[in-house]
């Protein structure tokens, strides 16, 4: 688990602007003049009120000096409110049913909150050693990097807050990482907005290809890490060359013409809402006034994120081995008491397991988790079976008829829709004459998120027309063929249950559910320990990753895809159909790595036992010894790592509460002055 990524999920208290400008929003607000856009709708200055703060009160003067002399704007112009509406608020009106009045009031709260937290964060870093006079010198040095009369120098002078924010983000130039990441996010947002407009221009032929039924992809497929920054990334406008834009990836079908058209539409949208100054040279978007306006907003958000992370890091000091062990003990004691009294509470908890939701105590034996690979009846077979149900057959006759149909059930690879000739919709890549998926995630861990327990080594079992990337998969074989395929990839071994399969009635005339179990096998996963279950390279992890991949390839049960460990199986009565329940419970009794094939009215099920909970304390830690090994905290996938990350997320929640407290404290008449009359027209659009 990426620690920064975990923290950043909690750092979105105040939203940043995003350039998500759609053509539909263009020109919805009519303004009489640029002057209207420059009206100040709110002023935020916490400096004088900061004097009352026990921690940072002595830095009120320094903050005031930075605001007064450094050029940090305390104003929120109407332009920012409208821009925020176009990038964020428009969705609330069109998708969530908000009125314009509700939306603009919400956006004003967000803009004010952001200003408050940014100014408070500056006080935090002044307390940490940064200085007002150094900040002034830094602002001047940033401007002096450019020649007198240059566009860059003029823009930095017009927007000194950009350099002030950079000073705090880099801590006087000591660490450029947060600033570099903010610039990347800023340019990404701009490219994304132009992309959306270019897509509508490219349009038609891209939408005529049928790639079959959409197939669920693993969580994080092609998802970029939030802290990734490429060496080179620039805004592509069509007036420059895409090859000079570093890691920016052109849309499929993009040409210089379509990109220029999209960029012109993007500019027209901004101009229609008076967000671009008249007569500006827009050949390079990074050298126009609006770029700097939005850059300041992006840097404000980056400073809030940095402040949040630094607060978290300071708080992590409390995570001593003794503290972690105590927290573990408290959670274990709570669960022992709760689950011991109410077994259903344990079942509920296991149904929602995750990296931050643990089951530390199991009140009874033989409770486990199973993956379900469902190979279904075809539509024709299902129709025939439903017809048989209406013919008055006895239960035993119906079971025998179903058995006959099951011999005809075939499996096929369902990943056709993961192929597409358009790169932005394609997950497939060719290697050694075969086709695999998710190359980005599997080969570029620096940039892309992990897919978790997904092996990525099972080639597509179908035909691919390389010119069009059209993929088709025919039926590949019966259940015996599938079991052979499963064993070959996962490394399992077993045997058909010929002595019991097909015997559907016991000596007492009751249904014999053992008779629906067709095959039983196992994968050698060694000793399964919760301590290393999610550690890559262990036998249990590798096996589950392969089973999970086959489930994505073949199973028609969508409910089991992208689950933590599959379905929870209780040793008691469950809500599953009886044949499934019996087979799953029998498999769980034999432990992790066991798998069975059983029949139900849905078709064939291959049930793989991913994990079995031992009775009592699931992860026995008798003393602090385990937690004293701090290396375990850094070892991704170990229980220590997951539990530490869980505790860190709780600290991050506390930090969010701190920020909310700051907003409540400083959002008062002394610090915030709203000029409602300046934006009353926006609140009355509904009228």
Coil, strand or helix: which one is 644?
helix
Nearest alpha carbon to residue 347 among 356, 279, 169, 338: 338
Nearest alpha carbon to residue 542 among 480, 477, 600, 592: 592
pLDDT of 4 > 60? The answer is no
Query: For residue 205, how many other CB atoms are within 10 A of its CB?
Result: 9
Q: Is residue 652 part of a domain?
A: no
Residues 55 and 174 reside in one and the same domain: yes
> Last residue of some domain: 423, 455, 474?
474
If pLDDT is split at 50, 70 and 90, which confidence band does 8 have? very low
Q: Is residue 579 part of a domain?
A: yes
Residues 396 and 545 reside in one and the same domain: yes
Unique residue bearing structure tokens 């092996």: 455
Contact present, 335 and 361 (Cβ < 8 Å): yes
**Is residue 371 exposed (0-12), middle (13-18) or buried (19+ Cβ within 10 Å)?**
buried
Coil, strand or helix: which one is 423?
helix
Mean pLDDT on 595-614: 96
Residues 245 and 180 reside in one and the same domain: yes
Q: Looking at residue 13, what is its pLDDT?
A: 31
| Spatial distance between the Cα atoms of 449 and 225, rounded to a whole number of angstroms | 5
Q: Which residue has the higher pLDDT, 326 or 486?
A: 486
296: its two tokens: 């300041």
Mean pLDDT on 473-485: 97
| Spatial distance between the Cα atoms of 279 and 149, rounded to a whole number of angstroms | 17
> Residue 138: in which H helix or E strand, if any?
helix 132-143
| Spatial distance between the Cα atoms of 460 and 430, rounded to a whole number of angstroms | 10
Mean pLDDT on 21-34: 48
Residues 290 and 395 reside in one and the same domain: no
Residues 294 and 417 reside in one and the same domain: no
**Is residue 471 exposed (0-12), middle (13-18) or buried (19+ Cβ within 10 Å)?**
buried
| Spatial distance between the Cα atoms of 85 and 81, rounded to a whole number of angstroms | 6
Q: Is residue 419 part of a domain?
A: yes
pLDDT in tens, 203-257: 744 554 555 678 999 999 999 998 999 999 999 999 999 999 999 999 988 999 9
> Residue 289: in which H helix or E strand, if any?
helix 289-315
Q: Which residue has the higher pLDDT, 3 or 548?
A: 548
Residues 195 and 161 reside in one and the same domain: yes
Q: Is residue 376 part of a domain?
A: yes
| Spatial distance between the Cα atoms of 570 and 582, rounded to a whole number of angstroms | 10
Q: Looking at residue 353, what is its pLDDT?
A: 85
| Spatial distance between the Cα atoms of 176 and 85, rounded to a whole number of angstroms | 31
- The dihedral through the CA atoms of 662, 665, 671, 674 has a sign that is positive
Question: At what angle are helices 132-143 and 160-170 packed, to 10 degrees?
Answer: 120
pLDDT of 619 > 80? The answer is no
Least confident among 176-185, 316-325, 585-594, 631-640: 631-640
CA dihedral 110, 660, 7, 121 (to 10 degrees): 80
Q: Looking at residue 148, what is its pLDDT?
A: 95
> Last residue of some domain: 445, 474, 503?
474
- Give the range of the structural domain holding residue 469, as residue numbers without chain letter: 413-474
> Last residue of some domain: 457, 474, 491?
474
Give the rounded distance of the alpha carbon of 659 from its chain centre: 23
Q: Looking at residue 17, what is its pLDDT?
A: 41
> Residue 369: in which H helix or E strand, if any?
strand 367-376
Q: Looking at residue 422, what is its pLDDT?
A: 84
Residues 107 and 247 reside in one and the same domain: yes
Phi then psi for residue 268, to 5 deg, are -60, -35
Q: Is residue 647 part of a domain?
A: no
Q: Is residue 598 part of a domain?
A: yes
pLDDT in tens, 484-532: 999 999 999 999 998 999 999 998 989 999 999 999 999 999 888 777 7
Q: Is residue 633 part of a domain?
A: no
Q: Looking at residue 530, what is its pLDDT?
A: 74
Residues 569 and 446 reside in one and the same domain: no
Q: Which residue has the higher pLDDT, 490 or 620?
A: 490
Residues 85 and 147 reside in one and the same domain: yes
Residues 156 and 298 reside in one and the same domain: yes
pLDDT of 644 > 60? The answer is yes
Residues 370 and 328 reside in one and the same domain: no
Residue 273's contacts (CB-CB under 8 Å, 6 or more residues apart) are 26, 27, 28, 29, 31, 82, 83, 86
pLDDT of 553 > 70? The answer is yes
CA end-to-end span of the chain: 50
pLDDT in tens, 123-169: 999 999 999 999 999 999 999 999 999 999 999 999 999 999 999 99
pLDDT of 435 > 80? The answer is yes
Q: How many domains does the chain contain in total?
A: 4
179: its two tokens: 């600033």
Residues 340 and 383 reside in one and the same domain: no
Q: Is residue 185 part of a domain?
A: yes
Does the predicted TM-score (pTM) go above 0.75?
yes
């Amino acid at each position: 688990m990426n620690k920064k990524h975990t923290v950043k999920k909690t750092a979105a208290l105040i939203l940043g602007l995003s350039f998500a400008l759609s053509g539909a929003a263009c020109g919805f607000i009519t303004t009489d003049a640029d002057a209207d856009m420059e009206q100040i709708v709110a002023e935020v200055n916490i400096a004088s009120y900061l004097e009352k703060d026990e921690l940072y009160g002595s830095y009120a003067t320094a903050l005031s000096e930075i605001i007064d002399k450094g050029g940090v704007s305390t104003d929120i112009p109407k332009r920012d409110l409208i821009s925020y509406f176009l990038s964020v608020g428009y969705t609330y009106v069109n998708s969530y049913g908000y009125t314009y009045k509700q939306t603009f009031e919400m956006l004003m709260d967000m803009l004010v909150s952001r200003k408050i937290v940014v100014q408070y964060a500056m006080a935090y870093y002044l307390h940490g050693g940064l200085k007002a006079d150094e900040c002034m010198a830094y602002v001047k040095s940033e401007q002096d990097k450019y020649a007198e009369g240059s566009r860059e120098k003029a823009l930095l002078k017009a927007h000194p807050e950009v350099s002030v924010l950079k000073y705090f983000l880099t801590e006087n130039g000591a660490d450029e990482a947060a600033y570099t990441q903010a610039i990347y996010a800023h340019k990404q947002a701009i490219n994304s907005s132009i992309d959306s407009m270019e897509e509508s221009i490219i349009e038609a032929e891209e939408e005529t290809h049928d790639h079959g039924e959409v197939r669920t992809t693993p969580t994080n497929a092609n998802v970029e890490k939030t802290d990734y920054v490429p060496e080179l990334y620039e805004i592509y406008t069509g007036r420059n060359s895409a090859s000079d834009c570093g890691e920016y990836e052109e849309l499929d079908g993009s040409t210089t013409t379509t990109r220029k058209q999209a960029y012109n539409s993007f500019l027209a949208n901004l101009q229609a809402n008076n967000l671009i100054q008249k007569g500006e040279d827009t050949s390079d978007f990074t050298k126009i006034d609006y770029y700097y306006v939005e850059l300041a907003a992006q840097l404000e958000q980056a400073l809030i994120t940095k402040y949040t992370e630094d607060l978290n890091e300071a708080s992590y000091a409390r995570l001593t081995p003794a503290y972690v062990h105590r927290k573990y003990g408290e959670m274990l004691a709570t669960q022992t008491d709760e689950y011991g009294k109410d077994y259903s509470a344990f079942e509920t908890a296991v149904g929602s397991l995750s990296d931050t939701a643990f089951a530390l105590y199991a009140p009874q034996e033989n409770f486990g988790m199973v993956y379900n690979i469902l190979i279904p009846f075809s539509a024709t077979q299902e129709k025939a079976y439903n017809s048989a149900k209406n013919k008055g057959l006895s239960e035993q006759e119906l079971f025998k008829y179903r058995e006959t149909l099951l011999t005809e059930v075939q499996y096929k690879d369902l990943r056709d829709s993961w192929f597409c000739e358009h790169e932005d919709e394609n997950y497939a890549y060719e290697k050694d004459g075969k086709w695999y998926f998710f190359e980005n995630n599997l080969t570029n861990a620096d940039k892309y998120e992990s897919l978790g327990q997904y092996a990525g080594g099972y080639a597509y079992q179908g035909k691919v027309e390389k010119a069009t990337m059209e993929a088709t998969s025919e039926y590949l074989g019966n259940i015996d063929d599938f079991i052979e395929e499963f064993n070959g990839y996962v490394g399992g071994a077993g045997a058909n249950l010929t002595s019991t399969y097909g015997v559907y009635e016991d000596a007492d005339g009751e249904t014999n559910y053992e008779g629906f179990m067709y095959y039983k096998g196992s994968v050698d996963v060694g000793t399964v320990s919760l301590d290393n279950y999610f550690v890559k390279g262990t036998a249990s992890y590798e096996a589950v990753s392969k089973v999970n991949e086959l489930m994505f390839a073949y199973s028609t049960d969508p409910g089991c895809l992208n689950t933590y460990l599959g379905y929870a199986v209780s040793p008691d009565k469950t809500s599953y159909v009886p044949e499934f329940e019996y087979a799953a419970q029998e498999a769980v009794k034999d432990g992790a790595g066991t798998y069975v094939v059983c029949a139900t009215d849905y078709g064939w099920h291959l049930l793989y036992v991913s994990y079995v909970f031992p009775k009592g304390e699931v992860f026995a830690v008798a003393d602090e010894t385990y937690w004293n090994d701090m290396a375990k905290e850094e070892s991704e996938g170990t229980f220590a790592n997951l539990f530490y990350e869980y505790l860190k997320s709780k600290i991050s929640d506390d930090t969010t509460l701190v920020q909310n407290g700051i907003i409540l404290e400083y959002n008062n008449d002394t610090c915030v002055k709203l000029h409602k009359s300046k934006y009353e027209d926006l609140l009355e659009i509904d009228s």
